[in-house]
Amino acid sequence: MKTTDSKNGLLKIENLQVEYITDDARVFAVNGLNLEIEKGETLGLVGETGAGKTTTALSVMRLLPPKVGRVIGGSILLDGIDIIHAGEADMRALRGSLVSMIFQDPMTSLNPVLTIGDQIAEVLIFHDRYNNRTDVNRRVDEILRLVGLSPERKNEYPHQFSGGMKQRVVIAIALACEPKLLLADEPTTALDVTIQAQVLEMMKELQEKLHTAVILITHDLGVVAQTCNRVAIMYAGEIIETGTVDRIFHAKRHHPYTEGLFGSIPDLTKKTRRLNPIDGLMPDPSNLPAGCKFHTRCPKCIDICRTIHPRSSVRDGHSIRCHLEGEGGVPVAGETAGGEQT
């Protein structure tokens, strides 16, 4: 397996570009995305439907739909491993042990004809974690307890569990081999509001206990405030603003898109928990506008925004990709204005 030294933490995505080829269009889903995660950190990835969040997570898992989706540029380095060029056998060994993904709908990841105990055991056996069945069984019980389910229920099938319990099973499977990175794609959206809070609280406890780094894809800013160290805001396949949660929630300056999403930023932690609807639609990803991709909806749009793709300006680790932020900011290494795909 090709490995490189990664001094910069656990995950480093640079200038990632992903497209889907459909019968009638070439969809530019991810367009020059940069993202870094340190070991044990929780990053909230926020953005409207269609922003490219799931595509980004699937790229890290190397699970883009075959023939339709493909990475056309950039690099993904996970724990020193070059994910884009790793062999298929290496990827199978990595999934579940180094990186796991929780999908939005728990039923898509559970097998309806296997008991939940067998499904957890299957992951442990696949990754050769235990020498004999007794140890596997003991670990299955331990993991079920860890996610708040009684081991006595391990011989039951998914349909015998409620939605919240099924998602706990999915989380148990994802964390069974203690991966260093967990990609949680809207893990609670399909659940009742009361159950959502319980499941998130449990995930947070587990994350702290196991020191797992998490990318939490969510629409709920209250969840970001309570659960994440950092937040990255995504629009039309790129990160337009990122920083620590503390910084983003207290900073005076933001990307106009973030301002639109958050409504009134000072009230964020108090009132505004959900993303605000913003006037206009996301641009068609098969026909993205030139310049800043947000310019067609931006209330602060100036001439340059229509033609030149803005680069990120960074102040104290808070990065904003907007022409209005240009002065005094420090360009992110390796970027040139307009140099990325538009």
Ligand X SMILES: Nc1ncnc2c1ncn2[C@@H]1O[C@H](COP(=O)(O)OP(=O)(O)O)[C@@H](O)[C@H]1O
Distances in whole angstroms, Cα of residue 328 to Cα of each of 22, 176, 313: 42, 47, 8
Q: Which of 117, 110, 112, 179 is nearest to 144 (CA)?
A: 117
20 belongs to the binding site for ligand X (CB under 6 A): yes
Which residues are within 8 A (CB) of 138 and not within 5 positions of it... i.e. 6 or more apart?
none
65 binds, among Mg ion, ligand X, none (CB under 5 to 8 A by kind): ligand X
Q: Work out how close the CB of 52 gets to Mg ion at its nearest, in angstroms, rounded to a whole number.
A: 8
Helix (H, G, I), strand (E, B) or coil at 11: strand
Q: Look up tokens 């609807």; give the residue.
A: 277
Residues 41-60, interacting with ligand X (CB under 6 A):
47, 49-55
27 belongs to the binding site for ligand X (CB under 6 A): yes
Q: Work out how close the CB of 53 gets to Mg ion at its nearest, in angstroms, rounded to a whole number.
A: 5
Q: Work out how close the CB of 283 gets to ligand X at its nearest, in angstroms, rounded to a whole number.
A: 10
20 binds, among ligand X, Mg ion, none (CB under 5 to 8 A by kind): ligand X
228 binds, among Mg ion, ligand X, none (CB under 5 to 8 A by kind): none
By CB under 6 A, name the one of 65, 66, 277, 334 that touches ligand X. Answer: 65
Identify which of residues 183 and 248 has a Cβ nearer to Mg ion in the complex. Answer: 183
Q: Look up tokens 């780094």; give the residue.
A: 213
Q: Work out how close the CB of 275 gets to ligand X at its nearest, in angstroms, rounded to a whole number.
A: 12
Length of the chain: 342
Query: Using CB under 5 A as the criterion, which residues of the chain lie in contact with Mg ion when the complex forms?
Result: 54
x/- contact string, 276-315, with ligand X (CB under 6 A)? ---------x------------------------------
Size of the site for ligand X (CB under 6 A): 16
**Which range of residues in 22-30, 90-98, 204-212, 272-280 is near ligand X by CB under 6 A?**
22-30
By CB under 6 A, name the one of 3, 4, 8, 22 that touches ligand X. Answer: 22
CA 97 to CA 92: how far, in whole Å?
Answer: 9
Q: Work out how close the CB of 284 gets to ligand X at its nearest, in angstroms, rounded to a whole number.
A: 8
CA 28 to CA 236: how far, in whole Å?
Answer: 8
Instruction: Provide the 10 A C-beta neighbour count for residue 277.
Output: 9
Residue numbers of the site for ligand X (CB under 6 A)? 20, 22, 27, 29, 47, 49-55, 65, 68-69, 285
